[in-house]
Structure 1
Amino acid sequence: MTNDALTPPPFPEADDRPTAATAGWGEDTAAVERGRCPVCGSSLTFGAGTSALVCDSCGHAVEITHGDDESVSEHSYEQWLAGNRGYQVASIGGQVLACDGCGASTETKDIAGHCQFCGGNLVAAENPEGIIPPEGVLPFLIDSRGARENVKSWVRSRWFAPNALKQVGDTESIRGTYLPHWTYDATTTSDYTGQRGEHYTEKQGDHEVQRTRWHHASGRIRNTFDDLLIPASTTLPRNRVSKLGPWTLGAVKPFTSEYLIGHSAVRYDVDPQAGYAEAKQIMDDEIRADVKRDIGGDEQRIHHIDTTYSQVMFKLILLPIWIATFMYAGKQWQVMVNANTGEVVGERPYSVPKIIAAVVVGLVVAGVVFWLYNRS
């Protein structure tokens, strides 16, 4: 986490943490707000695969509840854009995160993390003016132990991996983080003109030659796009993040900062306009494929497509990722685990001796086959 300004923790005046004798269910709400266990006062962490905050020390659980009126809302992109012309998230400063343990404050562009003084939880209470707050969060379903097992299985399944790499397991460091993503919905109407090609054959001497007869084609197609997912952060390599999907977006919960306790979370640095441009490219590619299907025939030529986009909606959601790092040959390697589905994507070293051995064996086998063929 990048710290722009640090304020050391104040000296504690008194220990007012509740004890097992005084804590009760009525105090759980306040405990959730400050990220501390109402029984022993230790740090709470969101329990992967549950709907509760769990105490790191005594195991006490505090359920995260949602009101009947809470939902994952979407915003009209056109209305937002009309009031935010020239918007750039890069021009917005950081926010102050306060430690739930020692009280230290940190100004940063992250929205959750860990205190460098005591290791306590840091969660943003308020967003700077202009920042779009998350509407939804996909909670961690796989815990750190499950993520480590997935990483070990992934490592052992790699072809030409060095033998020493097979030992990677509980020794690698692993941390959980939420990565922001935009989702976009839209209804499109596309008018097109083009040509439909139909194959036929004609005889030329002793041979038959395939020809194509072209016919004018035009039409209109309609599409509905729902929850097109666009990474809203450049913190991690975009090409690897995109391979972590698909995500079970139906399990997204209305956002509350309690889900972030015990994990880090970065703020988005991709503006909604840039995200929408990426989403439109995905829409356009699908529209083009649909136009070709609508034209039909054996071949298609598209001359022009005129698309109208309407009912464009968007929202910001946070998706959970485990990031594992390990050292090999003096270099740090990074592996990411989808904490929702278990999908693993990452870097890996290759064993040059194994590759050379495989090439040599291949050449020997090819040589033996060639010799046997010549003998026969």
Structure 2
Amino acid sequence: MSDTTASPSPTAPREFPCGACGARLEYSAGARQMRCPYCGSQEKIPEAAREVREHAVQTLFARRPAEGLARHRFVCQGCGAHVQGDHLSQVCQFCTAPLVTDDSADVQVPPEAVLPFTVDRGAARDALSTWTKSRWFAPNSLKRVNEAERFKSTYLPHWTFDAQTVSDYRGQRGEYYWVTETYTTQEDGKTVTKTRQVRKTRWYPARGRVSRFFDDVLVNGTTQVAPEKVDALKPWPLQQARPYAHEYLAGHEALRYDVEPEQGLDRAKQVMARTIEQDCKHDIGGDEQRVSSVSTAYSAVTGKLLLMPVWAGAYLHGGKTWQIVVNGCTGEVQGERPYSAAKITAAVLAAVLLIVLAVILYVQYGG
């Protein structure tokens, strides 16, 4: 359901003291509630008094000064990522460069919703370990990604957009027909005349109108992680999204978006356009379709900023940074890894030695 009023701007980061020992509570992915990392006490997260809402894009585009989602704000000296968290981080999880305190003023769209972590650090490490073992000839440095400073629970910003569309199109409908062709061939030195059926296409002009309602078209809100890598983490259980609350970020980090909402809407329309073209082709019918032009009108366009959970890490090898991300809901792993020249050389030498040994044994005993 859409809402033309904006969500309240996130207030200053809240403290969540443990009722038993006074330490700071953190959101526990495994328990899906607040948990003290020292004494183990657990507290439930209060039920939200509202539902996740969609906002008219005019409201969404109206940024406001933000006081921050977490206690500390950092900026990476390497990739420029703006990260917020409760802990004093030293190293960027996206490129391993040093982090410094970010004191710059910030004006942004506040998050409307959050998809909480359900995969805890142990499960994420297991998923990463399984993925790593399946990568033959990977360098040993890959195994160090799950170290605390390199492997962090991080919320990635995403835009979601809804829209009602009506599209007028022009194109052509192709219908198959068959003709008999005569041809000659040489068989046993003789010319033989034969016939064959050849398929051809007859084209007819087509035009029409299609409509579709798009719900939660997802657009990656950061350039710190390659779009194809984030897309490969799908599917996301968007139905589990909750209204934003500071509790879900306690003990975790959040990355500020660098894809502005206007850019996000443009990208969402590109995604919609691909579906609309398929709708046009289906409407044209026939055996083949050509779409020459599509004019789309958008109405009831709404959107929101949604925080999505990943375990993110990076490592250096050969002077290059390699990223690994794990879906914080499903455990799906996506990443990059180079090939270890030393391991490949050792494997080749071992194979050569085995071949030489086999030849020697054959000559001595089998010849």
Report the equivalent of 2:160. 183
2:51 pairs with 68, 71, 94, which one? 71
Q: Which residue of 2 aligns with 1:138?
A: 115
Letter in 2 for 1:62: E
The yes-or-no answer on 1:61 pairing with 2:42 is yes
Determine which of 121, 124, 128 is the counterpart of 1:151: 128
- Asked whether the 8 Å contact 1:78–1:312 carries over to 2, the reply is no
Q: Give the aligned CA root-mean-square deviation in angstroms.
A: 3.2
- Given the alignment, which residue of 112, 115, 122 partners 2:88? 115
Residue 49 (structure 1) aligned with residue 30 (structure 2): yes
Please report how far the alpha carbon of residue 169 of structure 1 lies from its aligned counterpart in structure 2 after TM superposition.
7.8
| Partner SS state of residue 267, structure 2 | helix
TM-score after normalising by structure 2: 0.74
Q: Which runs of 4+ in 1 moved over 6 A?
A: none
Counterpart contact for 2:113–2:306, Cα < 8 Å:
yes
Contact 2:26 2:36 in 1 (8 A): yes
Letter in 2 for 1:203: T
Percent identity over the alignment is 39
2:27/2:35 contact within 8 Å kept: yes
Specify the alignment match of 1:370 in structure 2: none
Q: CA deviation at 1:283?
A: 0.4
Q: 1:96, 1:107 within 8 Å by CA — same for their partners in 2?
A: no
How many pairs are equivalent?
Answer: 306
AA partner of residue 43 (structure 1):
R
Q: CA deviation at 1:106?
A: 5.6
Question: Which stretches in structure 1 are left out of the alignment for 5+ residues?
Answer: 1-31, 100-104, 118-127, 365-376
Q: 343-352 or 181-190, which moves further after superposition?
A: 343-352
Matched, 1:340 2:329: yes
Q: Deviations over 1:103-128 (max 9, x none)?
A: xx7687544342369xxxxxxxxxx7
Query: Aligned equivalents of 1:286 and 1:200: distance in 2?
Result: 29
Cα deviation code 1:160-187 (max 9, x no counterpart): 3348478668657421111110000111
Matches within 5 A, 1:1-376: 33-67=14-48, 69-78=49-58, 80=60, 84=62, 95=67, 99=71, 110-115=83-88, 130-158=107-135, 160-162=136-138, 164=140, 173-205=150-182, 206-326=195-315, 333-352=322-341, 354=344, 357=348
Residue 47 of structure 2 aligns with an amino acid whose one-letter code is: H
Name stretches of at least 5 consecutive residues in structure 2 with no aligned partner. 1-12, 76-81, 91-104, 183-194, 356-367
Flag the 1:318–1:65 CA change in 2: closer, same or farther, 3 A: same
Change (3 A) 1:41 1:282: same
1:40 positional shift: 1.0
Q: 1:239 to 1:107 in 2, by over 3 A?
A: closer
The question of whether the paired residues in 2 share the 8 Å contact of 1:335 and 1:347 is answered with: yes
Kindly indicate whether structure 1 or structure 2 has the higher relative contact order, using CA contacts under 8 Å at least 6 residues apart: 2
Q: CA-to-partner distance for each residue in 1:278-303, whole Å, 9 max, x for gaps?
A: 00000001110111122122211212
Say if 1:152 and 1:168, in contact at 8 Å, map to a contact too: no
TM-score, normalization: structure 1? 0.72
Letter of the aligned partner of 1:318 in structure 2?
L
CA distance in 2, matches of 1:280, 1:136: 22
| Residue pair 1:322, 1:338 contacting (<8 A) in 2 also | yes
Which secondary structure does the structure 2 equivalent of 1:114 belong to?
A: coil
- The 1:335/1:278 distance shift into structure 2, 3 A limit, reads same
Q: CA 1:312/1:175 → structure 2, altered by over 3 Å: closer, same or farther?
A: same
In 2, Cα distance between the equivalents of 1:106 and 1:192?
49
CA change 1:188–1:94 in 2 (3 A) is: closer
Distance 1:268 1:136 in 2: 14
Equivalent residue of 1:66, what SS?
Answer: coil
